[in-house]
Amino acid sequence: MALVPLLIALARPASTRPRRAFLLGFLTGLVYFSGTLYWLTDVMTTFGDLGRGTAIAVALLLIVYLSLYPALAAYVVGRGVRAFGVRALWAMPLAWMAGEYGRRHIISGFPWEPLGNSQVDVTPIAQAASLVGVDGLSGIVALASVAIAWLIVGPAGRRRYLPVAVVAVVLASLAGWGAHRVAAGELLTAGTPVRVGLVQGNVAQGEKWNDALADRIYARYLAMSRQAIQRGATLVLWPESATPFMFEEHPEAEAIRLLARETGARLFIGSDQIERAARRYYNSAFLIQPTGSVGGIYRKIHLVPFGEYVPLESILSFAGPLVQQVGGFTPGDRLTIFQLREGAFSTGICYEAVFPELSREAVQRGSQLLTSITNDAWFGRSSAPWQHFAMARMRSVETGRYLARAANTGVSAIVDPYGRVVQATPLFEEAVSVGEVRFLDGTTLYVRIGDVVPWAGLVVAIGLWGLSARGRRRSASASPPPSGDPRAVHRS
């Protein structure tokens, strides 16, 4: 129902003026993103060393930018309604998908909370993401909004109810197929099982880099890892930047290697990395083998804007203190597929869980299990940790893979290939969670075709814009000339 008010407004003659349609979409975006990203200001003032006014300005700037995408979708649909009547409302799902795809890729991309992610707990409908991805699922949600709006503003008689009936059949068919897919549960018994331990250290952000607490934090992670291994875990995940030192440079890292050699377990840890000659810092993850050797390293590719770097830094230099609190990181340039005897897995560090293309590429390259390590302490007790977790769950549906997620303050969880939570920890508690995941083969349709559906939406949106402009020109040329025009005398 989310887009129904906008669609009804766009159906009114006065709203089909391009500027007004754009402003209506922009207003929709302001409501959407202000309500979704309300926590940004507190994060930047509490942890980013920004004044309240500056933090509000930075947050508002991001919200205004994100609101441009709904504005452009409304602009295209408004032009279509102006040229072809209310039936052009049915283009909104395609225009909306195109906007979300653009939001994911333009500049550095910020695809936080796409419309389709609202269905992650509606398990039968969420399965559509395995076919068309979360952007395609956004189009399905928008389609439901159009059907509701059509009942209010569509033409009278059969022409009003027939399209709505078609949409109802489509949605019912998708839900039926999704329910059957989940009930069959083929992915729950396939592949090779492995016991995974998730270590949630619950280190407060203010304590994370306190040298006086470093030994205590490190000892906590080692003890919790032993506990996980005693409970049967053969692969133990630590959260993002869990070590209070750089793993490759600190002699204390030998304790991690020793733990792996003593227990025969594999440890997957988050730790920062530096190239001193180039003065480059990386947010990295290391796989420690039972021999104590490093079995692979991954460097985070998608950095957090205003958290790990400042986009357009020369223009937005006033936000520099925010990045100085966590360091200016350099993005990695490739995915890493980690090899175990049971199978291959990939990882996403923190914010990377919101980018479908990363997990899709990883599966294409042979990843049989998704993992995610993150530090969500920044978010406090807002809804942001739950938003972040919900988006990570959608990656499981899209790729047909289990997800093992270790978060510093929660939510640490195991998610099955249908997006359902198998087990999860509470927020802001020390916790060790051990459960079974499976290394799976096979691919979903989305992994094979990628973002074909939102690309089609982009093509149709551009086509509608072009046709509506052409239709308006024809309409203007066919209208009778105004009184006093010499052509009027000639025609009479």
Q: CB of 61 within 8 A of CB of 310?
A: no
Cα–Cα distance, 115 to 135 (Å, whole number): 8
Angle at 133 between CA 128 and CA 136, to 5 degrees: 75
Torsion over CA: 459, 147, 30, 104 (sign): negative
Q: Which residues pair with 406 in a beta bridge?
A: 373
Q: Which of 208, 342, 350, 398 is catalytic?
A: 350
Q: Is 240 a catalytic residue?
A: yes
Q: Which of 300, 308, 352, 398 is catalytic?
A: 300
Question: Which alpha helices (DSSP H) does 52-157 contain, by range?
Answer: 52-84, 92-105, 123-126, 129-153
Q: CB of 403 within 8 A of CB of 396?
A: yes
Q: List the one residue out of 327, 312, 350, 334 whose CA is nearest residue 280.
A: 327
Q: Is 352 a catalytic residue?
A: no
Cα–Cα distance, 381 to 385 (Å, whole number): 8
Q: If you count them, how many residues does the chain have?
A: 492
90: Cβ contacts below 8 Å, ≥ 6 apart = 146, 150, 163
Tokens 């050797």 correspond to what residue? 293
**Which tokens in the block code for residue 147?**
């059907």
Q: Which amino acid is at 438?
A: R
Cα–Cα distance, 402 to 9 (Å, whole number): 42
Torsion over CA: 99, 169, 400, 404 (sign): positive
Q: List the one residue out of 391, 366, 363 whose CA is nearest residue 104.
A: 391
Q: Which of 113, 240, 308, 342 is catalytic?
A: 240
274: Cβ contacts below 8 Å, ≥ 6 apart = 246, 249, 280, 281, 282
**Which tokens in the block code for residue 5?**
């008010």
Q: Is 429 a catalytic residue?
A: no
- Omega before residue 236 within 30° of 0, cis: no
Cα–Cα distance, 487 to 481 (Å, whole number): 7
Sheet holding 235-237, edge to edge: 294-299, 280-288, 266-275, 235-237, 192-200, 431-439
Catalytic residues, by residue number, are 240, 300, 350
